Amino acid sequence: MRLRSMEDMLTAEDLVVRRGGTEVLRGVTCALPTGTTALIGHNGAGKTTLLRALLGLLPAASGTVRLDGEKVLATAASRSAFHARLGWMPQDVEFPRGVTVAEAVEYACWLRGRPRRTLRAHRVAALETADLTELARRPADRLSGGQRRRLGLACALAGDPDVVVLDEPTAGLDPLQREEIMGAVRQASRERTVVVSTHLVEDVLTVADRILVLADGRVVADALLDEIVASGASAEQARAAVTGLIAPRGGACGQTDGAPA
pLDDT averaged over every residue in the chain: 88
User: What's the CA gap between 10 and 33, in Å, rounded?
Assistant: 6
Tell me the CB-side half-sphere exposure of residue 137, using CA atoms within 13 A: 1
Report residue 219's pLDDT band, with 50, 70 and 90 as the boundaries.
very high
Read off the pLDDT of residues 13-53 as tens digits, 9 standing for 90 and up: 999 999 888 899 999 999 999 999 999 998 889 999 999 99
Q: Give the amino acid at 82.
A: F
pLDDT score recorded for residue 191: 80
Report residue 259's pLDDT band, with 50, 70 and 90 as the boundaries.
very low
State the average pLDDT over residues 197-215: 93
Report residue 8's pLDDT band, with 50, 70 and 90 as the boundaries.
low
Read off the pLDDT of residues 56-108 as tens digits, 9 standing for 90 and up: 999 999 999 999 999 999 899 999 999 999 999 998 888 989 999 999 999 99
The pLDDT of residue 5 is above 70: no
State in Å, rounded, how far the first CA of the chain is from the last one.
35
User: What's the CA gap between 84 and 217, in Å, rounded?
Assistant: 28
Length of the chain: 261
76: Cα separation from own chain's centroid? 23
pLDDT score recorded for residue 248: 52
Pick from 3-12, 94-103, 248-257: least confident = 248-257
187: Cα separation from own chain's centroid? 14
pLDDT score recorded for residue 82: 94
Pick from 63-72, 103-112, 206-215, 251-260: least confident = 251-260
Domains plus CATH for the chain? 1-85+163-175+190-247 (3.40.50.300), 92-161 (no CATH)
For residue 184, the SS3 value is helix
Read off the pLDDT of residues 105-156 as tens digits, 9 standing for 90 and up: 999 999 999 999 999 999 999 999 999 999 999 999 999 988 999 999 999 9
pLDDT score recorded for residue 14: 96
The pLDDT of residue 6 is above 80: no
Neighbours of 36 (CB within 10 A): 28
The pLDDT of residue 257 is above 50: no
pLDDT score recorded for residue 135: 96
The pLDDT of residue 169 is above 80: yes
pLDDT score recorded for residue 261: 52
